[in-house]
Amino acid sequence: MKLKKLSLRTRIFIVMIVLVLIASVLIASVAIYQYNEETTDYHIQRLNRKELNIKTHLKRVLNGRQNTWEVKTRNIPLIFKDEISNIADIHKLQVNLYDLEGNLLITSKANLKPDEEEKSIEPHILDAISNTADHRYVDKLTENGLTYQSSYIFIYDNRSKPLAILNLPYLERDDFLSKELNEFLGRLGIAYLFVLIIAIFIAFLLSKYITKSLKTISDKIITTRLEKRNEKIVIEDSSQEISTLIDSYNSMIDELEDSAVQLARSEREQAWREMAKQVAHEIKNPLTPMRLTVQNFQRKFDVNDKDITKKIVEYSNTLIQQIDTMSSIASAFSNFAKMPAQQNETLNVVHITKLALDIFNEDYILFTSETEEIIAEFDRTQLIRVVTNLVKNGIQAIPEDKTPQVIVNVGEDDKNVIITVSDNGSGILKEYRNKVFEPKFTTKTSGMGLGLAMVKNIIETYNGNISFTTKTNEGTIFKVVFPKRES
């Protein structure tokens, strides 16, 4: 997984832990390097001390009263015959003495047989001893995983003339120091583990603290809606960057509310303008025949006409019919304008749907249900209105030359009631499908196009939704879904 795909909080947490681990590795590396440096210095200084002490001891033997031999290079084996082993034992170091040409004179090494091959110092070592200011050379080599130092230095007689070459082979034993290092690293590891646990805890809290404000802002942005009142963000003790972001969001909310108010006002004005035009249009329709009827009556009115009474009755019936039409128009718009009241009655949807279908006497209207009882919270009158409007819409969609069939089904899922009303009508043309639920939209020669808009309004009031599927010349299925009563 790429780091950029992780959340900001996770990235902060991971980076802080990685930094702690890198710091721990660096500190451990520096500690090991420092230990190795100190170990090297320790062996160098220890060899120097051993060398100085042994030189002092050898000088005392040379100048001691027990020495009866003349202090010369050829007498070195005789002078130190009995003392070389004591010196090696006292200083815990092997002692070798060579003449100035590099030939072995005497050694403290045990079991050195006379017939062994003669030992000698390599020429480059002799040159180094002779040509350096302190006349000293240290050779370092590694064998079988062990490191050895071998120092070569002149020893002098009483007149400060070189007498012999002192060689001290020194094995760098690191057992004790390695044990100390392992113990130190063990303690350091425990300390690092403790620090890592604390770092994880602090990183968790710190990343949570850093992203808490961003999470609050993110949640607010997600829930921001144009159609509702949005709350501003109030966060105390936030950083300058977060404060700037919050101020920008709050300023946007103010602008959004102003825009929402203007948009709502504009939509209301537009809706009322459209409604006024529709009402005017619908009222004009019956007024025209009424006018023609009155004018015709004026022209043909004759008091002496023997059929005058019959004509007056026909005239009155025509006017009453047109007045009823205008009243129906006014009632329809009035009902559409009113939001359905949420009575929240506990009712059996199956039973109420059957009741709504009782007003239809047509045999081609069929009712089916998956169960005898589905309980929901709904207004009885509004549910009947929904069913009857959908059934009427289905009936009107069926052409006269086709055997009609309307099927109403009531079903359910885990949380919702599902009502479907299907017909075998002409279907809805593609160019009209986006306008089906718009007020005043209709493809029929009669009606005002408010039925489906009213149904949608009712269903959405009860937190439901309505949708449809349609096929040209095959029919349409309207599907209504709204919540069941919670158990």
Instruction: Tell me the domain boundaries of the chain.
Output: 3-110+118-178, 240-337, 345-483
Q: What percent of the chain has pLDDT over 70?
A: 75
pLDDT at 172 over 80: no
Give the mean model confidence (pLDDT) for residues 380-408: 88
Contact 389, 358 (CB under 8 A): no
Residue 10 has a pLDDT of: 78
CATH superfamily of 345-483: Histidine kinase-like ATPase, C-terminal domain (3.30.565.10)
Residue 442 has a pLDDT of: 53
53-71 core/surface letters (b: 16 or more CB in 10 A; e: else)? ebbebbeebbeeeebeeee
**Report for 111-125, 185-199, 283-297: range of highest mean pLDDT:** 185-199
Alpha carbon distances (Å) from 83 to 59, 71, 86, 336: 12, 15, 5, 127
Q: How high is the mean pLDDT of the chain?
A: 78
Higher pLDDT, 308 or 331: 308
Range from 160-164, 445-449, 460-464 carrying the lowest mean pLDDT? 445-449
pLDDT interval class at 429 (50, 70, 90) = confident
Q: CATH assignment of 3-110+118-178?
A: 3.30.450.20
Higher pLDDT, 300 or 454: 454
Residue 245 has a pLDDT of: 72
pLDDT interval class at 244 (50, 70, 90) = confident
pLDDT interval class at 478 (50, 70, 90) = very high
Range from 157-161, 266-270, 448-452, 455-459 carrying the lowest mean pLDDT? 448-452
Range from 143-152, 348-357, 362-371, 425-434 carrying the lowest mean pLDDT? 143-152
Q: State how far the Cα of 157 lies from the Cα of 161, in Å rounded to an integer.
A: 6
Answer yes or no: same fold for 3-110+118-178 and 345-483: no
Give the mean model confidence (pLDDT) for residues 125-150: 82
Question: Could you give the 3-state DSSP secondary structure of residue 103?
Answer: strand
pLDDT interval class at 116 (50, 70, 90) = very low
**CA 268: distance to chain centroid?**
42
What residues contact residue 226 under an 8 Å CB cut-off, 6+ apart?
256, 259, 260, 263
pLDDT interval class at 345 (50, 70, 90) = confident
Alpha carbon distances (Å) from 470 to 147, 297, 367, 408: 93, 49, 20, 16
pLDDT at 218 over 80: no
pLDDT interval class at 48 (50, 70, 90) = confident
Q: Which amino acid is at 460?
A: E
Residue 173 has a pLDDT of: 67
pLDDT at 327 over 50: yes
- Check: pTM over 0.95? Answer yes or no: no
Contact 245, 217 (CB under 8 A): yes
**Report for 115-129, 189-203, 334-348, 471-485: range of highest mean pLDDT:** 471-485
pLDDT at 33 over 80: yes
List phi, psi (to 5°) of 157.
-90, -170
Give the mean model confidence (pLDDT) for residues 350-365: 86
**Report for 202-211, 219-228, 316-325, 458-467: range of highest mean pLDDT:** 458-467
Higher pLDDT, 303 or 188: 188
Residue 306 has a pLDDT of: 74
**Report for 108-112, 278-282, 373-377: range of highest mean pLDDT:** 373-377
Give the mean model confidence (pLDDT) for residues 50-56: 89
Residue 274 has a pLDDT of: 67
* 120 DSSP assignment: B
pLDDT at 343 over 90: no
Residue 333 has a pLDDT of: 63
Range from 81-90, 225-234, 252-261, 417-426 carrying the lowest mean pLDDT? 225-234
Predicted confidence (pLDDT) per residue in 67-114, tens digit: 778 888 888 888 888 888 888 888 888 889 999 888 888 888 875 554
Q: What is the number of residues in the chain?
A: 487
pLDDT at 367 over 90: yes
